[in-house]
Amino acid sequence: MHACAECSVYVCRVGNREAGPDNCPMQTGDQTDQLPVYEDPEVREFARIASLIEAVGYGRWTRLEETMELAKRNGFTRLGLAFCAGLRSEAKVLSRVLKANGFEVVSAMCKTGAIPKEAIGIRDEEKVRPGTVEPMCNPVAQAALLNESETQLNILFGLCVGHDSLFIKHCRGWVTVLVAKDRVLAHNPIGAIYLSDGYYKKKLYEDHR
Ligand code: SF4
Protein backbone atom coordinates (compact mmCIF):
# COMPACT_ATOMS: atom_id res chain seq x y z
CA MET A 1 0.00 0.00 0.00
CA HIS A 2 1.19 3.48 -0.76
CA ALA A 3 2.13 5.61 2.23
CA CYS A 4 3.45 8.95 1.00
CA ALA A 5 2.54 10.36 4.41
CA GLU A 6 5.22 8.13 5.95
CA CYS A 7 7.92 8.92 3.36
CA SER A 8 11.26 10.30 4.45
CA VAL A 9 12.89 11.07 1.11
CA TYR A 10 10.21 12.92 -0.90
CA VAL A 11 12.24 12.60 -4.09
CA CYS A 12 9.12 13.33 -6.17
CA ARG A 13 9.57 16.94 -5.04
CA VAL A 14 12.79 17.22 -7.02
CA GLY A 15 11.66 15.30 -10.10
CA ASN A 16 13.38 12.01 -9.30
CA ARG A 17 11.20 8.98 -10.04
CA GLU A 18 13.78 6.37 -9.16
CA ALA A 19 14.91 6.91 -5.57
CA GLY A 20 11.66 6.52 -3.64
CA PRO A 21 10.98 3.78 -1.08
CA ASP A 22 9.79 0.33 -2.21
CA ASN A 23 6.13 1.26 -1.80
CA CYS A 24 6.57 4.57 -3.61
CA PRO A 25 3.75 4.96 -6.16
CA MET A 26 6.36 5.82 -8.78
CA GLN A 27 8.01 2.43 -8.25
CA THR A 28 4.98 0.21 -8.04
CA GLY A 29 2.84 1.02 -11.06
CA ASP A 30 1.62 3.60 -13.44
CA GLN A 31 -1.12 5.29 -11.40
CA THR A 32 0.95 8.46 -11.19
CA ASP A 33 0.79 8.87 -14.94
CA GLN A 34 -2.59 10.57 -15.24
CA LEU A 35 -1.59 12.80 -18.13
CA PRO A 36 -4.44 11.48 -20.32
CA VAL A 37 -6.86 13.04 -17.82
CA TYR A 38 -5.05 16.36 -18.12
CA GLU A 39 -5.48 16.17 -21.89
CA ASP A 40 -9.12 17.11 -21.41
CA PRO A 41 -8.93 20.83 -22.30
CA GLU A 42 -11.07 21.88 -19.33
CA VAL A 43 -8.98 19.92 -16.85
CA ARG A 44 -5.73 21.02 -18.43
CA GLU A 45 -6.62 24.70 -18.32
CA PHE A 46 -7.89 24.47 -14.74
CA ALA A 47 -4.69 22.70 -13.69
CA ARG A 48 -2.52 25.20 -15.54
CA ILE A 49 -4.23 28.16 -13.91
CA ALA A 50 -4.07 26.56 -10.44
CA SER A 51 -0.31 26.16 -10.86
CA LEU A 52 0.07 29.72 -12.08
CA ILE A 53 -1.79 31.04 -9.04
CA GLU A 54 0.43 28.99 -6.76
CA ALA A 55 3.48 30.70 -8.24
CA VAL A 56 2.21 34.24 -8.72
CA GLY A 57 0.54 34.52 -5.32
CA TYR A 58 3.10 32.49 -3.38
CA GLY A 59 3.33 33.92 0.14
CA ARG A 60 1.57 37.06 -1.05
CA TRP A 61 -2.09 36.32 -1.67
CA THR A 62 -4.49 35.13 1.00
CA ARG A 63 -6.56 32.09 0.17
CA LEU A 64 -9.54 34.34 -0.52
CA GLU A 65 -7.51 36.31 -3.06
CA GLU A 66 -6.29 33.07 -4.61
CA THR A 67 -9.88 31.87 -4.87
CA MET A 68 -10.94 35.02 -6.69
CA GLU A 69 -7.94 34.77 -9.02
CA LEU A 70 -8.78 31.13 -9.74
CA ALA A 71 -12.26 32.18 -10.78
CA LYS A 72 -11.16 35.23 -12.75
CA ARG A 73 -8.42 33.49 -14.67
CA ASN A 74 -10.80 30.67 -15.60
CA GLY A 75 -13.28 33.21 -16.88
CA PHE A 76 -15.86 32.27 -14.26
CA THR A 77 -18.40 34.96 -13.48
CA ARG A 78 -20.98 33.08 -11.43
CA LEU A 79 -19.83 31.70 -8.09
CA GLY A 80 -21.63 29.43 -5.68
CA LEU A 81 -21.33 29.93 -1.95
CA ALA A 82 -22.34 27.02 0.27
CA PHE A 83 -22.11 28.22 3.83
CA CYS A 84 -22.81 27.16 7.38
CA ALA A 85 -25.45 28.91 9.49
CA GLY A 86 -22.80 29.40 12.16
CA LEU A 87 -20.86 31.57 9.72
CA ARG A 88 -23.79 33.50 8.30
CA SER A 89 -22.36 36.92 9.26
CA GLU A 90 -19.04 36.04 7.67
CA ALA A 91 -20.83 34.69 4.58
CA LYS A 92 -22.52 38.06 4.20
CA VAL A 93 -19.13 39.74 4.16
CA LEU A 94 -17.72 37.19 1.74
CA SER A 95 -20.65 37.66 -0.62
CA ARG A 96 -20.07 41.43 -0.51
CA VAL A 97 -16.36 41.03 -1.26
CA LEU A 98 -17.01 38.68 -4.17
CA LYS A 99 -19.64 40.99 -5.64
CA ALA A 100 -17.33 43.99 -5.26
CA ASN A 101 -14.86 42.06 -7.39
CA GLY A 102 -17.37 41.65 -10.18
CA PHE A 103 -18.73 38.19 -9.50
CA GLU A 104 -22.33 37.12 -9.46
CA VAL A 105 -22.89 35.15 -6.24
CA VAL A 106 -25.46 32.44 -5.68
CA SER A 107 -25.50 31.36 -2.05
CA ALA A 108 -27.20 28.63 -0.08
CA MET A 109 -27.15 28.14 3.69
CA CYS A 110 -26.90 24.69 5.24
CA LYS A 111 -30.32 24.77 6.92
CA THR A 112 -32.21 25.49 3.73
CA GLY A 113 -35.34 23.35 3.50
CA ALA A 114 -35.87 23.60 7.28
CA ILE A 115 -36.30 19.82 7.43
CA PRO A 116 -36.28 18.43 10.99
CA LYS A 117 -33.38 16.11 11.81
CA GLU A 118 -35.92 13.40 12.61
CA ALA A 119 -36.31 12.98 8.81
CA ILE A 120 -32.87 11.34 8.64
CA GLY A 121 -33.36 9.23 11.76
CA ILE A 122 -31.94 11.50 14.44
CA ARG A 123 -33.70 10.97 17.78
CA ASP A 124 -34.50 13.91 20.03
CA GLU A 125 -31.80 12.91 22.53
CA GLU A 126 -29.24 12.86 19.71
CA LYS A 127 -29.74 16.52 18.81
CA VAL A 128 -27.34 19.29 19.75
CA ARG A 129 -30.15 20.75 21.87
CA PRO A 130 -32.68 18.05 22.75
CA GLY A 131 -36.24 19.21 23.13
CA THR A 132 -35.95 21.83 20.41
CA VAL A 133 -36.83 21.93 16.73
CA GLU A 134 -33.51 21.32 15.00
CA PRO A 135 -33.44 21.45 11.21
CA MET A 136 -30.91 19.16 9.58
CA CYS A 137 -27.99 20.47 7.60
CA ASN A 138 -28.99 19.91 4.00
CA PRO A 139 -25.83 19.93 1.86
CA VAL A 140 -27.54 17.94 -0.90
CA ALA A 141 -30.06 20.77 -1.28
CA GLN A 142 -27.25 23.35 -1.18
CA ALA A 143 -25.61 21.49 -4.06
CA ALA A 144 -28.92 21.20 -5.94
CA LEU A 145 -29.56 24.94 -5.61
CA LEU A 146 -26.11 25.82 -6.90
CA ASN A 147 -26.35 23.20 -9.64
CA GLU A 148 -29.67 24.72 -10.71
CA SER A 149 -27.97 28.11 -11.06
CA GLU A 150 -25.08 26.56 -12.98
CA THR A 151 -22.48 28.12 -10.75
CA GLN A 152 -19.01 27.70 -12.18
CA LEU A 153 -16.93 27.59 -9.01
CA ASN A 154 -18.48 26.65 -5.69
CA ILE A 155 -16.93 27.86 -2.46
CA LEU A 156 -17.34 25.72 0.63
CA PHE A 157 -17.55 28.00 3.63
CA GLY A 158 -17.49 26.25 6.98
CA LEU A 159 -19.65 23.20 6.31
CA CYS A 160 -19.46 20.51 8.98
CA VAL A 161 -17.36 17.40 8.54
CA GLY A 162 -19.43 14.97 6.49
CA HIS A 163 -21.84 17.63 5.33
CA ASP A 164 -18.97 18.92 3.23
CA SER A 165 -18.54 15.39 1.83
CA LEU A 166 -22.20 15.23 0.87
CA PHE A 167 -21.98 18.61 -0.84
CA ILE A 168 -18.88 17.65 -2.82
CA LYS A 169 -20.47 14.36 -3.88
CA HIS A 170 -23.60 16.07 -5.18
CA CYS A 171 -22.22 19.29 -6.63
CA ARG A 172 -21.71 19.30 -10.39
CA GLY A 173 -19.35 22.27 -10.76
CA TRP A 174 -15.84 22.84 -9.49
CA VAL A 175 -15.57 22.99 -5.71
CA THR A 176 -12.99 24.72 -3.55
CA VAL A 177 -12.79 25.02 0.22
CA LEU A 178 -12.30 28.44 1.73
CA VAL A 179 -13.09 27.59 5.35
CA ALA A 180 -12.96 24.16 7.00
CA LYS A 181 -15.08 24.21 10.11
CA ASP A 182 -13.46 23.57 13.46
CA ARG A 183 -15.65 24.76 16.31
CA VAL A 184 -12.85 24.36 18.84
CA LEU A 185 -9.91 25.86 16.95
CA ALA A 186 -11.52 28.91 15.34
CA HIS A 187 -11.77 27.08 12.01
CA ASN A 188 -8.07 26.32 12.00
CA PRO A 189 -8.08 22.50 12.07
CA ILE A 190 -4.34 22.14 11.63
CA GLY A 191 -3.96 23.53 15.15
CA ALA A 192 -4.73 20.01 16.39
CA ILE A 193 -1.77 18.69 14.42
CA TYR A 194 0.52 21.39 15.74
CA LEU A 195 -0.45 20.44 19.30
CA SER A 196 -0.33 16.68 18.73
CA ASP A 197 2.98 16.26 20.58
CA GLY A 198 1.87 18.44 23.46
CA TYR A 199 -1.46 19.42 24.93
CA TYR A 200 -3.48 17.32 22.48
CA LYS A 201 -1.39 14.14 22.68
CA LYS A 202 -3.84 12.13 24.76
CA LYS A 203 -6.83 13.63 22.97
CA LEU A 204 -5.53 12.61 19.56
CA TYR A 205 -3.81 9.29 20.26
CA GLU A 206 -6.03 7.75 22.96
CA ASP A 207 -9.41 9.37 23.46
CA HIS A 208 -11.01 8.25 20.19
CA ARG A 209 -9.81 4.66 20.07
S1 SF4 B 1 5.74 9.65 -4.32
FE2 SF4 B 1 7.43 8.41 -3.54
S3 SF4 B 1 9.01 9.89 -3.05
FE4 SF4 B 1 7.14 11.03 -3.23
S5 SF4 B 1 6.32 11.13 -1.13
FE6 SF4 B 1 5.38 9.34 -2.12
S7 SF4 B 1 6.71 7.66 -1.52
FE8 SF4 B 1 7.88 9.52 -1.16
What pLDDT score was predicted for residue 28?
Answer: 82
What pLDDT score was predicted for residue 203?
Answer: 96
* Closest atom of ligand 1 relative to the 13 alpha carbon: 4
What pLDDT score was predicted for residue 32?
Answer: 87
* Closest atom of ligand 1 relative to the 19 alpha carbon: 3
Residue ranges in the chain modelled with pLDDT below 50:
none
Counting beta carbons within 10 angstroms of the beta carbon of residue 108, is it exposed (0 to 12), middle (13 to 18) or buried (19 or more)? Answer: buried
Ligand 1, pocket-test mutation among 9, 17, 22, 30, most atoms within 8 A of CB: 9
What pLDDT score was predicted for residue 84?
Answer: 98
Ligand 1 pocket member 4 (CB < 6 A) = yes
- For residues 101 and 103, give the distance between their C-alpha atoms in angstroms, rounded to a whole number: 6
Cβ-proximal residues to 91 (8 Å cutoff; 6+ apart), any chain: 81, 83, 84, 107, 109, 157
Domain layout of the chain by residue ranges: 9-36, 40-75, 76-209
Cβ-proximal residues to 37 (8 Å cutoff; 6+ apart), any chain: 43
State the distance from the centre of ligand 1 to the C-alpha of 21, rounded, in angstroms. Answer: 7
Cβ-proximal residues to 185 (8 Å cutoff; 6+ apart), any chain: 191, 192
Model confidence, pTM:
0.95
* CATH 3.30.40 at 76-209, yes or no: no
Cβ-proximal residues to 42 (8 Å cutoff; 6+ apart), any chain: none
